[in-house]
Amino acid sequence: MMEERYDLLKSRIEEITKENQVSEPYCSYFKQVALFLMEIFQCFERISGFHGCESRENALDEKQNPDGTSRTGQDLQTLLKYNHKLYGDILPENYEASYGNPAYAVKLLGEEYGQILCALYGELYALIPIAFEGAHKKEESLFEILIRGELFVEVYCSFCREIEEEDRPPVPESLKEMFYWFVSDYSEEEWEKRTRQKLDPSEDFAYGIIKNSNLDNPSYLFSYGEYISENQIKTAQYMAKLDEKTIKLMADTYTEGYRIGFIKGNKDISKKKVVNIVYPLGFEKMIKLAIANFEAMGLKPAIMRTAHSIFHKNGMGISGFYSDSPNKQFDFDHKEDQALILDKKLINRKLEAIGKAHEACRELAKAHGGPAWVEVFGEKPFVPKVKKEALAFDEKQQKLEAAYRVKTSQLINEYIPGEERSFTIIAFPVPEIGAHYEAIMQETIALNTLDYETYESIQQTIIDTLDLGESVIVRGMGENRTDLKVALYPLQNPEKETIFENCVADVNIPVGEVFTSPALKGTEGILHVTKVYLSQLEYKDLSITFTDGMVTDYSCSNFSTAEENKKYIKDNILFHHESLPMGEFAIGTNTTAYVMARKYHIQDKLPILIGEKTGPHFAVGDTCYSHGEEVAVFNPDGKEIVARDNEISLLRKTDVEKAYFGCHTDITIPYDELGEVSVVTKGGEVIPIILEGRFVLKGTEGLNEALSRGI
């Protein structure tokens, strides 16, 4: 049946490339998109060997690569050229005149039709990686191509019919309805597939590439179907020439962090059989060794692709193996395409689909240990252009989306309990960071393997002082306007309990922070940073005001109006919530990382993972112990970390939907903007820990050595 559907679909779309049944300006849109879909069909057929019922005689021989090129005589540039041809229309140099650009689409097609057809265009671009998965699961990829191609034909035919009968385009609401039922009707299939990829090691598309490819030749990168840039090619080439000992050190640090995370979190790793590996393309030589390490622990890898489709996209977040974006402005323009159709009924439909998918994988979910992330840094910071033509959630949809995020987190936690899972995360630079890439990579590897015992001892000195406190004062200096009082959890038994966790090289690599869940009541003031880079987005002059630990005001200076700036923060830091609590307060101690950033002038390129260790940081959203508050956690000195809750997370005992937000965003004040971090004891004594960017607490002076060397 699917073969017949494919033949009909392909034939109809080929006709669309030639006919003129639809008037301009719509005809040009449908012809261009139809030509793109014909390219997708050709790509899928070459990769999968599938040719429908009527065209088997045209099947290409087996001596071809997944990209359709001959295995003999093809060089890297040929593969790159084909890859960039597939993604060509949305590349920055072509984007101004692309139907994927909402500003262009609206200009040519009108506001309502432009937004709808631009969203359709965005969804069809998700077919590129889907076509490449045909090498692994032909029928599954075929289904994905069919449902999207048939949606395109349905929309096209509605234009043909209405123009023929009424001499006008179809009513926009009818087009939205088509899109709505596309998402609603296929939610179960899409979430079932996505959930299997996250939980089931037998879904081994990426693992097959890692296991079976010659990783010394970067041509393997083109098997994924992702956009491939110089970053991925040069990273793979660098890894190919790196000695085995260094690659093993990278892999061992990564996997040991995961294992130790279970130990420190007082969780039993022996109950787990699966680890979800998230990695950037180019690091496969390290990932291959990491998989062997995990398998030695009894853990099989489950590796899914980051989300590209409207079914699963979560803003601009990363959720699986990933590559460079062909165009981050395209991603930003389409991050809220669901605004076209989102309502309460669709939210409930999606939640139902997620529940069914996890129920079908219940046993796999129980064995799921949590994610092991590899991040990269060094890309040019992205400053988005907010376009009035792009789809965006209205106020009602923002509330629905925020509630959906919370309910999804709760639902998944029923099947993969937070108190039983762990994670780890590590970061490395990409070549785009500049001429000093190899030196920065070597320093980052050294950074990730710093002597944790030295940091553990110094950090314990800081914690012992913090445990005397009732609150902490944090103030900026220079242009930084931070002026905060952070209330601390009241200790009942200081001999056996502590407020802060002593974080060394486990889940958050590299070493270098002490953190807590602050008490909300009494936490107040302004958090300010002159510039910060969060989840691929830059914020200038970011200011957040807290009252009793809750966000009550916020601003930045990215855009010309206060309204635009507030929306930018609400959409991308508050994730559409009206307010969020301060879920974490931490003091970063990794002065070596700070000096490395200044040495190579890459302060704005550090990931949160490293950046948060280079000064005090504050998270808005859930606490670090979200969904795992009941699990007792201990520091190396044997004391239990009792500040695992705040007044909001405690609501889980009476109304769980009010306890969690499904987000946690860290914001760091760098040492050179930091005037003071001091502990205020119950007796009113003020004990400085940091003054004017230097550690002054007795026993912490060693942290200044790196700062002094860096001057």
Q: Are 146 and 9 in contact (CB under 8 A)?
A: yes
- Residue 15: helix, strand or coil by DSSP? helix
SS3 of 399-414 = HHHHHHHHHHHHHHHH
Q: At what angle do helices 284-296 and 230-241 cross, to 10 degrees?
A: 60
Residue 234, exposed/middle/buried by CB under 10 A (0-12, 13-18, 19+)? middle
Residue 488's closest CA among 524, 526, 522? 522
**Within 10 A of 131 (CB to CB), how many other CB atoms are there?**
25
Each residue's pLDDT tens digit, 501-521: 998 767 889 999 999 999 999
Q: Are 206 and 254 in contact (CB under 8 A)?
A: no
Residues of the chain with pLDDT under 50: 55-64, 66-73
Backbone φ, ψ for residue 536 (5° rounding): 75, 5
Cis ω before 417 (30° cut-off from 0): no
User: Rounded distance, CA 220 to CA 212, Å?
Assistant: 9
Residue 517, exposed/middle/buried by CB under 10 A (0-12, 13-18, 19+)? buried
Residue 628's closest CA among 425, 416, 463, 426? 416
| Structure letter (DSSP) for residue 697 | S
Q: What is the pLDDT of residue 183?
A: 97
Tell me how far CA of residue 533 lies from CA of 97, 600, 604, in angstroms. Answer: 29, 17, 6
Tell me how far CA of residue 705 lies from CA of 30, 598, 685, 694, 695, in angstroms. Answer: 63, 15, 28, 10, 10
User: Rounded distance, CA 459 to CA 512, Å?
Assistant: 8
- Residue 127: helix, strand or coil by DSSP? helix
CA 523 to chain centre: 29
Q: Are 407 and 455 in contact (CB under 8 A)?
A: no
Cis ω before 25 (30° cut-off from 0): yes
Q: What is the pLDDT of residue 505?
A: 64
Q: Are 46 and 68 in contact (CB under 8 A)?
A: yes
Q: Are 183 and 346 in contact (CB under 8 A)?
A: yes
Helix (H) or strand (E) holding 429: strand 424-429
Residue 131's closest CA among 153, 146, 116, 118? 146
296 Cβ partners below 8 Å, 6+ apart? none
129 Cβ partners below 8 Å, 6+ apart? 224, 225, 226, 305, 308
User: Rounded distance, CA 670 to CA 532, Å?
Assistant: 10
Q: Which residues of 100-126 are buried (b: 16+ CB within 10 A; e: fewer)?
A: bbbbbbbebbbeebbbbbbbbbbbbbb
36 Cβ partners below 8 Å, 6+ apart? 89, 124
User: Rounded distance, CA 155 to CA 177, Å?
Assistant: 10
DSSP string, 69-117: SBSSS--HHHHHHHHHHHTGGGSTTTGGG-TTSHHHHHHHH-HHHHHHH
- Residue 554: helix, strand or coil by DSSP? strand
Tell me how far CA of residue 304 lies from CA of 204, 335, 371, 584, in angstroms. Answer: 9, 20, 11, 30
Residue 596, exposed/middle/buried by CB under 10 A (0-12, 13-18, 19+)? buried
Residue 392's closest CA among 568, 181, 185, 556? 568
What's the Rg (C-alpha) of the chain? 26
User: Rounded distance, CA 434 to CA 429, Å?
Assistant: 10
Q: What is the pLDDT of residue 467?
A: 97
Backbone φ, ψ for residue 549 (5° rounding): 80, -5
Q: What is the pLDDT of residue 57?
A: 42
321 Cβ partners below 8 Å, 6+ apart? 206, 224, 277, 278, 279, 280, 281, 303, 304, 305, 306
pTM of the model: 0.88
Q: Which two tokens stand for residue 198?
A: 């996250």
Hey, what amino acid is at 623? T
DSSP string, 505-551: SSSBSS--EEEE--EEEEEEEEEEEEEEEETTEEEEEEEEEEETTEE
Residue 168, exposed/middle/buried by CB under 10 A (0-12, 13-18, 19+)? exposed
Q: Which two tokens stand for residue 513?
A: 């922070």
CA 337 to chain centre: 18
Q: Which two tokens stand for residue 619?
A: 């998270």
Q: Are 260 and 505 in contact (CB under 8 A)?
A: yes
Each residue's pLDDT tens digit, 151-164: 999 999 999 987 67
Residue 619's closest CA among 532, 686, 682? 532
Q: At what angle do helices 244-264 and 284-296 cross, to 10 degrees?
A: 50
